[in-house]
Amino acid sequence: MLDPEITKCWDDKLRANRKKAIMNLRKNNLKFWFSKEKEDLATIIRGIKEKSTRELKNLVPIAIKNLKKNGFKVHYAGDIDEVKNILLGLVKGSRLVCKSKSVVMRELRVSETLQKHGIRVVETDIGDRLLQLEGGTPSHQHHPSAHLTLRDIRSLLETENEQLPEHADVLAGKISDTVRKHILNCDWGIVGCNAISADEGSLFTVENEGNIRWLTTIPKKLMVVTSIDKIVKSYYEAMMVCYATGYFAMSKLTTYIDVITGPSKSGDIQMKFSYGVYGPREIHVILVDNGRMNCIEKGFGELLYCINCSACLDICPVYEEVGESFGVKHALARGLMLTAWLEGLEAIGDKLGMCLTCNLCFSICPSKINTGKLLPEFRRRIVNGSA
């Protein structure tokens, strides 16, 4: 008998809409994915992630030291329970939090934790916000509302007093207008990040919509929830990760690449720094391990080379058919193996059996993660009881 979650993904409408979205992404990206430019860039990214993962035990304290030096308040969390304690301690007494989309925050159940304790959470990513209004689940890790048609979205947004056209710009504008009002009144902005440069103590974010810019600038208090595998050594390496994220996701640069090196400040009054001028006065960074060091120590550090560009999702024939069912928080076979290291084998069930081992994901991965090589070794460990 098929898993009900997988059966749901075979719903004709949902499946057709997801496939259409993925085919559009493929059409836009195929030329770059199989170009010499892609190969050259992937060689650079593989080198960066290989080195930073190998040296991660040394890079973590360097990053924490320099983040603190720049005025960030850093909280190190070993597991999900520690994340929850830190998170709830920081937001105590808050009523409204606005957050960005983040695979790490989904892994750590940030939204669920806040809502369970009576704090309202407004998702600011357009796709996540649509899912929040629909009450549904994502059909794609990076394009969560890919299954919704213009008609579906219009019905979610329009009221008796306001009829909306089935036009993407108008519908996106309607969502962003509402979200902006929430951000202006929220107690906290919460975002993830794409890279951390250890030497400079800087955080890097990549986006197209501009919601992360609002969240890192408007609220007086900002929280960055991220994982230790985002750490690389230098500013250059972090910027290359951000550059590659855009190109492998959509064959061009993202609209925004932002670097945060401490709270907002000005030295214009008597040459002394004043803090919290136009941006946040305090920035808290929750830096999470949650099994990643264990993953490295057991010889599976390559699973952490991922830069979350989503290219693998858009070429995988299984993901095209069943979407997010081919994963648990982290998608595809790589994500399932990672989840097993982070949360235990029971967390992934028998979903690894869905992988065709075609290795198409490897062929376009910016970090050259060789799932086809890792998977047999992972299965061997399971059989031997050493996974």
What digits encode the pLDDT tens for the residues 111-133? Answer: 999 999 999 999 999 999 999 99
Average pLDDT over residues 224-253: 96
**Rounded to two decimals, what is the model's pTM?**
0.94
Q: Are 288 and 267 in contact (CB under 8 A)?
A: no
Instruction: Give the H/E segment covering residue 181.
Output: helix 168-185
pLDDT band per the 50, 70, 90 thresholds, residue 160: confident
CA angle 288–280–307, rounded 5-degree value: 35
| Nearest residue to 327 (alpha-carbon basis) of 190, 145, 142 | 142
Rounded to whole angstroms, the Cα distance separating 132 from 182 reads 14
> Residue 385: left if φ>0, alpha if ψ -120 to 50, beta else—which one?
left
Please state the separation of Cα 92 from the chain's center in Å. Answer: 25
Is the predicted pLDDT of residue 103 greater than 70, yes or no?
A: yes
Which class in CATH covers the domain with range 56-292? alpha beta
Average pLDDT over residues 86-97: 97
Please, where in the chain does CATH 1.10.1060 lie?
4-41+299-384
Fold of 4-41+299-384: Fumarate Reductase Iron-sulfur Protein; Chain B, domain 2 (1.10.1060)
Tens-place pLDDT, residues 1-35 = 445 554 455 467 778 888 888 888 888 888 999 99
Rounded to whole angstroms, the Cα distance separating 379 from 386 reads 10
Is the predicted pLDDT of residue 105 greater than 50, yes or no?
A: yes
Average pLDDT over residues 307-315: 94
Return the minimum-mean-pLDDT range out of 66-80, 157-171, 181-195, 281-295: 157-171
Q: Which token pair is 290?
A: 């949650």
Query: Which pairs with CB-CB distance under 8 Å and at least 24 residues apart come from 7-16?
Result: 8/325, 9/139, 9/321, 9/322, 9/323, 9/324, 9/325, 10/321, 10/322, 13/147, 14/139, 14/147, 14/323, 15/321, 15/323
What is the overall mean pLDDT for the chain? 93
Is the predicted pLDDT of residue 157 greater than 90, yes or no?
A: yes
Q: Are 311 and 33 in contact (CB under 8 A)?
A: yes
Q: Are 387 and 345 in contact (CB under 8 A)?
A: yes
Please, where in the chain does CATH 3.40.50.10420 lie?
56-292
Q: Which token pair is 75?
A: 């909280």
Tokens 């259409």 correspond to 20
| pLDDT score for 125 | 97
| pLDDT score for 283 | 98
| Nearest residue to 218 (alpha-carbon basis) of 275, 180, 245 | 180
Average pLDDT over residues 212-233: 97
Does residue 299 or residue 14 have the better pLDDT? 299
